[in-house]
């Protein structure tokens, strides 16, 4: 080895040690504990410190979640992980704000310090595990006209509502959400993040290991903003020159102090990735909103007396026509059947809605198309694992291990202290046992390496600054 190379290596080593020392010291401000199947982590400091704390404290969970996401996404899209790394490096990273570049690098440093050998572009690709396979890859497949192109349809995720005024028991805001997804990542979606950043607002959210935003998107910040969403089914569109959705959503949760500010941040550099109907509420004003964000179109509805519900359908006729291939008239499809059920529940319970009722709604098993109790793909508490139809709207085959994987609910009073209730697993309280499911449905044996049990826990309250 030449003297110049030796000097360069020594300088690099010294720089790494100099960086590692203050970051490892940042662990004194952070901690984790487990309660009722959730992992609660408190993160605090600069972007680099928060990232390092995140990566270090959740290193085992991040390694496991990364392997599961990598396995499922490469299988589904028929693209190697090297493609995702290249996309992270060339398409995503250049459009990420410096603050979040520092945090993502911090996550990587924390992982490496704990012995998990992922690099920066693995971490960035993990953070984009919703928007790259579902939005960018279909665009690329169409452009490249590959002979072996798989069928990729933007999946629906989540059932949610926000209500206020005459619809709620005390005329204050009630917000609730359950996360729908494949059970492969869904069984791992069990982090409660309590984050005190150097700049912006203190906030609490549920989340996924290694990802800097909630990603199923439920959170509350200390400005009184209450946030959730449901995905728009059948959406198509992605701007490679835009800012990643995961970064914009994190920035909006951290910095927005009003509904208007939230909308402004999300529109800035919108890339169309992870197109959602955002359900928003401002505890300070009592106002709620539905912010429907595509790529070409967006629209905001708002009220101080009413409700907005989401179940993976677009409300704006122009967005529906120009940016989706979704059939809003098919009442047998999951999004439309759940839309009907939300309307029924809101009407039947007007003036009585509170957090306890919200929890019951999230576990609801009434199929509005069949007009009977039948836990399946059409019920608010989704159970595709029980459905002989699957979900054609998302190209999900019968008996897919997919559906609701957890629930959250809060109201104005709880939001004053940034607290919410959360339940792991199906919000109805039933368990999913991977070995039993695979025995009945061996066509899904390819999932065996990453499909794990998903046991339901109790409804549990969480708030910032909690200790075990």
Give dist(CA 335, CA 343) in Å, integer.
12
What DSSP element (H or E) covers 205? Answer: strand 203-207
Domain annotation covers residue 126: yes
Question: 384 near 391, Cβ under 8 Å?
Answer: yes
**Do residue 224 and residue 318 come from a single domain?**
yes
Higher per-residue confidence, 24 vs 14: 24
In tens, the pLDDT along 317-365 reads: 999 999 999 999 999 999 999 999 999 999 999 999 999 999 999 999 9
| CATH for 41 | 1.10.439
Residues 285, 237, single domain; the answer is: yes
| Residues present in the chain in total | 468
Phi then psi for residue 406, to 5 deg, are -175, 165
Domain enclosing residue 139, as ranges: 20-144
- Angle, helices 47-57 vs 3-25, to 10°: value is 80
**Pick from 180, 139, 141: which is nearest to 391 by CA?**
180
Percent of the chain whose predicted confidence (pLDDT) is above 90? 90
Position 208 in a domain = no
CB 325 within 8 A of CB 232: no
β strands within 7-152, DSSP E: 31-35, 38-45
Structure tokens that stand for 111 in this block: 């992982």
Q: Is residue 269 part of a domain?
A: yes
Within 10 Å of residue 100's Cβ, how many Cβ atoms? 23
b/e 338-363 (16+ beta carbons within 10 angstroms → b): bbbbbeebbeebeeebbbebbbbbbb
Counted domains in the chain: 2
SS3 state of residue 280: strand
Task: Using alpha carbons, select from 425, 130, 159 the residue that is nearest to residue 250.
Answer: 130
Contact at 8 Å (CB) between 39 and 54?
no
* Domain end position, chosen among 144, 175, 203: 144
Cα–Cα distance list, 185 to 190, 234, 311 (Å): 10, 21, 20
What pLDDT is recorded for position 468?
80
Nearest by Cα to 298 from 314, 312, 274, 284: 314
| Residue 24 domain flag | yes
What is the average per-residue pLDDT within 10-17?
39
Out of 84, 117, 144, a domain closes at: 144
Block residue for tokens 């693209």: 79
Which CATH number fits the domain that encloses residue 275?
A: 3.60.60.20
Whether residue 227 contacts residue 261, with contact meaning beta carbons closer than 8 Å, is answered with: no
Query: Which tens digits make up the pLDDT trace of 102-124?
Result: 999 999 999 999 999 999 999 99
* H runs (alpha helix) in 349-466: 355-362, 412-415, 434-440
Q: Does residue 295 share a domain with residue 411?
A: yes
pTM of structure: 0.93
User: Is the residue at 58 inside a domain?
Assistant: yes
Domain match, 259 and 133 both: no
**Is there a single domain that holds both residue 128 and residue 177?**
no
Residue 9 confidence (pLDDT): 33
Indicate the burial class of 317 (C-beta count within 10 angstroms; 0-12, 13-18, 19 or more).
exposed
Residues 88 and 236 grouped into a single domain: no
Q: Is residue 195 part of a domain?
A: no
From the number of C-beta atoms within 10 Å of its C-beta (0-12, 13-18, 19+), residue 166 rates as exposed
Q: In the Cβ-directed half-sphere of 417, how many Cα atoms lie within 13 Å?
A: 11
Same domain, 353 and 455: yes
Q: Is 331 exposed, middle or buried (0-12, 13-18, 19+ CB in 10 A)?
A: middle
CA angle (112, 196, 181) in 5-degree steps: 65
Is there a single domain that holds both residue 107 and residue 25? yes
For residue 7, is it within any domain? no
Q: Which residue has the higher pLDDT, 433 or 153?
A: 433
- Interval 221-280: pLDDT, tens: 999 999 999 999 999 999 999 999 999 999 999 999 999 999 999 999 999 999 999 999
Cα-atom radius of gyration of the chain, to the nearest Å?
Answer: 21
- Residues 368 and 248 placed together within one structural domain of the fold: yes
- Per the domain annotation, does 441 fall within a domain? yes
pLDDT at 65 over 60: yes
- CA atoms of 37 and 426, how far apart (whole Å): 13
236 and 133 assigned to the same domain: no
Of 115, 144, 173, the residue that ends a domain is: 144
Which residue in 296, 156, 285, 162 sits closest to 232, CA to CA? 156
Q: Are residues 182 and 125 in the same domain?
A: no
1 pLDDT more than 60: no
Lowest mean pLDDT among 119-133, 135-149, 160-174, 326-340: 135-149
Residues 270 and 381 in one domain: yes
Residue 136 banded pLDDT, cuts 50, 70, 90? very high
């Amino acid at each position: 080895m030449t003297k110049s190379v030796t000097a360069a290596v020594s300088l690099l080593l010294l720089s790494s040690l100099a960086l590692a020392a203050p970051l490892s010291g940042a662990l004194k401000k952070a901690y984790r504990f487990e309660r009722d199947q959730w992992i609660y982590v408190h993160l605090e400091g600069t972007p680099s410190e928060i990232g390092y704390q995140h990566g270090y404290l959740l290193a085992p969970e991040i390694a496991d979640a990364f392997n599961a996401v990598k396995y499922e996404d490469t299988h589904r899209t028929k693209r190697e992980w090297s493609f995702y790394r290249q996309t992270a490096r060339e398409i995503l990273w250049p459009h990420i704000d410096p603050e979040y570049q520092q945090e993502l690098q911090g996550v990587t440093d924390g992982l490496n310090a704990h012995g998990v050998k992922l690099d920066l572009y693995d971490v960035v690709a993990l953070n984009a595990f919703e928007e790259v396979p579902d939005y960018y890859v279909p665009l690329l497949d169409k452009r490249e006209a590959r002979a072996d192109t798989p069928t990729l349809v933007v999946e629906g995720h989540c059932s949610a509502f926000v209500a206020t005024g005459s619809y709620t028991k005390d005329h204050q805001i009630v917000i609730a959400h359950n996360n729908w997804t494949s059970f492969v990542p869904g069984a791992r979606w069990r982090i409660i993040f309590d984050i005190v950043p150097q700049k912006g607002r203190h906030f609490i959210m549920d989340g996924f290991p290694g990802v800097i935003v909630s990603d199923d998107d439920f959170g509350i910040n200390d400005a009184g903003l209450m946030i959730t969403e449901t995905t728009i089914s059948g959406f198509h569109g992605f701007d490679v020159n835009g800012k990643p959705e995961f970064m914009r959503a994190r920035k909006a949760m951290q910095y927005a102090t009003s509904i208007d500010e939230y909308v402004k941040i999300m529109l800035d550099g919108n890339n169309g990735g992870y197109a959602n109907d955002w359900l928003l509420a401002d505890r300070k004003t009592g106002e709620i909103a539905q912010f429907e964000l595509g790529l070409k179109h967006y629209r905001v509805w708002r009220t101080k007396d009413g409700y907005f519900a989401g179940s993976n359908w677009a409300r704006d006729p122009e967005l529906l026509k120009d940016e989706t291939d979704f059939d809003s008239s098919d009442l047998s499809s999951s999004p439309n059947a759940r839309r009907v059920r939300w309307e029924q529940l809101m009407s039947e319970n007007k003036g009585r809605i509170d957090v306890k009722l919200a929890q019951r709604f999230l576990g609801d098993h009434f199929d509005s198309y069949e007009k009977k109790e039948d836990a399946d793909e059409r019920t608010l508490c989704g159970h595709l694992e029980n459905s002989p139809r699957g979900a054609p709207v998302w190209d999900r085959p019968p008996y897919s291990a997919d559906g609701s994987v957890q629930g959250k609910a809060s109201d104005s009073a709880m939001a004053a202290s940034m607290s919410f209730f959360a339940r792991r697993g199906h919000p109805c309280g039933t368990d999913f046992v991977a070995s039993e499911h695979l025995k009945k449905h061996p066509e899904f044996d390819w999932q065996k390496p990453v499909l794990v049990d998903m046991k339901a826990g109790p409804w549990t309250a969480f708030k910032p600054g909690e200790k075990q």
